[in-house]
Amino acid sequence: MAFETVRSDIAAIFERDPAVRSLPEIWLSYPGFHGVLIHRLTHRLWRARWRLLARMLSNVGRLFTGIEIHPAAKIGKGFFIDHGNGVVIGETAEIGDNVTLYHDVTLGGIAPAVDSASQVNVKRHPTLRDGVIIGSGAQVLGPIVIGENARVGANAVVLKDVPAGATVVGIPARVAMTRRDRDAHFEAYGTSRDEVPDPVARVIEGLLDQIESLQARVNKLEGTTVPERWKVPADNKD
């Protein structure tokens, strides 16, 4: 557990949490920091093949912090779990540098095979690139990639790759904004300070506009005078 890595985790808290006031406060009262610190230790044990001990210490950390991180998960520098309770990070998850997760986030595993034995050493969990922010309650599932500086809104369910710089919301998650639509500043809970357009509502509005246009054309056609030669004589209507 390199000192530089722990220092970067502490710096991330000072940078992204306006509630923090001092270094002792982080060491004594931040369960997210405690959970990450324990994972840094258990990951080293896992790599050294002390895997039972790693799982035992990881479970102790979960009991004290409410955060479950598999010792095999790979996590970069500057990682911050805000609030922390309910976070689950699976075995084959990979997290880049300067990533932020909020409470109740799941980085879960989905694999196509039904037989669990065939899933050993298979990539089943997400990969989060540098600078990603995952809002509270979001579920990121499967061996997908969340691109660099992407944002996942609260309670979103992400089942497909997310492009770099995009903001996704909804169930299932859809792209609501791109990097061109927003500034590069830190966005708490993965939510922009500006109004984020609902991609589903946007599609529905487009359909309603098309229906209105078609209805106008139908009304116009129905109101057009029918030429005499097209009219059917009254005695031949049958």
Rg (CA), the chain: 26
168-211 residue pLDDT tens:
998 898 888 777 555 556 666 656 655 556 665 666 666 777 77
Residue closest to 110 by CA, chosen among 137, 135, 92, 133 = 92
Q: Which domains does the chain have, with CATH numbers?
A: 3-236 (2.160.10.10)
Q: pTM for the whole thing?
A: 0.75
Mean pLDDT, rounded, of the chain: 84
Does residue 236 register a pLDDT over 60? no
Contact 139, 108 (CB under 8 A): yes
Strands 94-95 and 74-75 turn out to be: parallel
Does residue 161 register a pLDDT over 90? yes
Q: What angle do CA 150, 156, 160 make, to 5 degrees?
A: 60
Distance CA 52, CA 59 (A): 11
Residue closest to 8 by CA, chosen among 98, 102, 100, 101 = 98
Distance CA 115, CA 156 (A): 28
